[in-house]
Amino acid sequence: MNAHAPITSLAAVALAALIPAAAAAQTAEAAQAEDPLGGEIVVTARKRSERAIDVPASLNVFSGETLQSSGVATIADLQYQTPGLKVAVGGGSTRISLRGVGTNIAAGGPSVAVHLDGIYVPNTRLAIAEMFDVDRVEVLKGPEGTLYGRNATGGAINIVSRAPGESFAADGYIGYGSRDLMTAQAGVTVPLGEHGGLRLSGAYANDDGYTKAINAAGGEIDDRHYAGLRLRGHYALTETLTADFTAQYARDKGTTGFGGSNNPDSPVYASIAPQRENPRRVNFDVPPEFDQKALLLSGTLTLDLGGITIKSVTGYIDYSTRERSDVDGAGGLIAYVVSEVDSDFFSQEFQISGGGPGATSWTAGAYYARETFGGFGTEIDSDYPVIDPYVYTDVSQHRVSKSRALFGEVSVPLSPRLSLLAGARYTRERQVSEGVFAAPLFLPDPDRAGSGGQKRRVHPQIARRIPAL
């Protein structure tokens, strides 16, 4: 465990329904003072329950109470608490790196794998949305390809939501801050007898943004508009077989990361006003727009055979985005881009593990995933808000990817302070993709060139993609 340094955050007034955050922080500090190594903290970083001190890797673990008291609401906030973690958000894309290992290709696969309740989240933008009702976050630094696959070259981040307790409970808070910041979270646990229970939780965040739009077109930039709802369940089917599930829906309409623009001293287009006066005063003739929706479903069956644990982890994510952004690099009416993305992701994993502290421990399993991806991006001239556009470029893609893997890892203690770790993973992945790129596409209709350009011809397929602005 690392010492937790406070981060700079918005001043807010919080109303706690149950345990105050200060008391929770004092409890965490007292526990850390008694056991600075966090030996009794149980994690699932290696896909089996074990003490954090027994994990032979660089690992940071943050409890939900610690995150809340530190003002950490997203993975982007978590970087200020985790040495080596970097989250870059800009222009609608997100890149996560650990210890300098990451990727700068926004359209490529991530190098740091993010999981929510055991389910891999393939879209990084979805992963940085608000974290709410969290039990803990585990940050594994270094290559984790053996257990997590090819998208974990830099490491892995596991987000574990709060499970229902054994008795009825309710908690929540409301906060208000500068720029009309309004945040709220609430959760309630409903027990289902002696065998389990349900927990329903939700989160809301809204503010006006911290970047000023100086163009007459207006619009909010770098604002937050998020709402999420989660149902978490746990039930003991028998003495040895338990079932857990998560159903979460979230919608994020904020434009965080869209405020970046070109250096005012070197505009992209000559004789055009710079796109920004300073980092927080930008000149966008087309206001940015972003709308992200995601449904996540996961189910886990766990069979405890006494020394050996068998798990089945099933996941499904339905994800879609729609965005609009000014991309010409100038303060004049030149071009903007409209894009949409739709993704259906299914995964199934079987795990078997055994061993314990001071003894040989191991994990093995099989993994299957399938994703159907479709999207397009269209660059349009900025006669905003007149709906009479040229279309400069059009890019579309459809992709189906399938991944199958077998993996295993074993840790053998050689002495109280030395152990041998070995692992292997075999992956077979196939991607079938088709795409179209066209530029330039459409110019004014030559038949009407002499009539003052009253109409411009736009291909019906492209016109269908152009929003009614």
Which residue type sits at 203? Answer: A
Residue 386's pLDDT band, with cuts at 50, 70 and 90, is low
The yes-or-no verdict on residue 299 having pLDDT over 90 is: yes
Q: Across residues 333-345, what is the average pLDDT? A: 88
Q: What b-and-e string marks burial along 103-118, b requiring 16 or more CB atoms within 10 Å of the CB?
A: beeeeeebbbbbbbbb
Q: pLDDT for 114-166, tens place per residue? A: 999 999 998 877 766 788 999 999 999 888 888 888 788 888 899 999 999 88
pLDDT of the residue at 425: 94
Q: Higher-confidence residue: 399 or 8?
A: 399
Q: Across residues 301-322, what is the average pLDDT? A: 94
Q: Higher-confidence residue: 332 or 434?
A: 434
pLDDT of the residue at 459: 45
Average pLDDT value over all residues in the chain: 80
For 186, the token pair is: 């609430």
Q: Are 98 and 85 a contacting pair, CB within 8 Å?
A: yes
Express as a percent the part of the chain with pLDDT over 90.
36
Domains and CATH numbers, the chain: 21-463 (2.40.170.20)
pLDDT of the residue at 94: 74
Distance CA 459, CA 183 (A): 44
Distance CA 38, CA 330 (A): 53
Q: pLDDT for 157-192, tens place per residue? A: 999 999 998 899 999 999 998 888 899 999 999 999
Distance CA 125, CA 357 (A): 37
Asked which of 247-261, 302-316, 417-431, 455-469 is least confident by mean pLDDT, the reply is 455-469
pLDDT of the residue at 356: 78
The yes-or-no verdict on residue 271 having pLDDT over 70 is: no
The yes-or-no verdict on residue 318 having pLDDT over 80 is: yes
Q: What is the DSSP string of 445-458?
A: -GGGGGGTS-----
Place of tokens 């287009």: 269
Residue 92's pLDDT band, with cuts at 50, 70 and 90, is low
Q: Across residues 397-415, what is the average pLDDT? A: 93
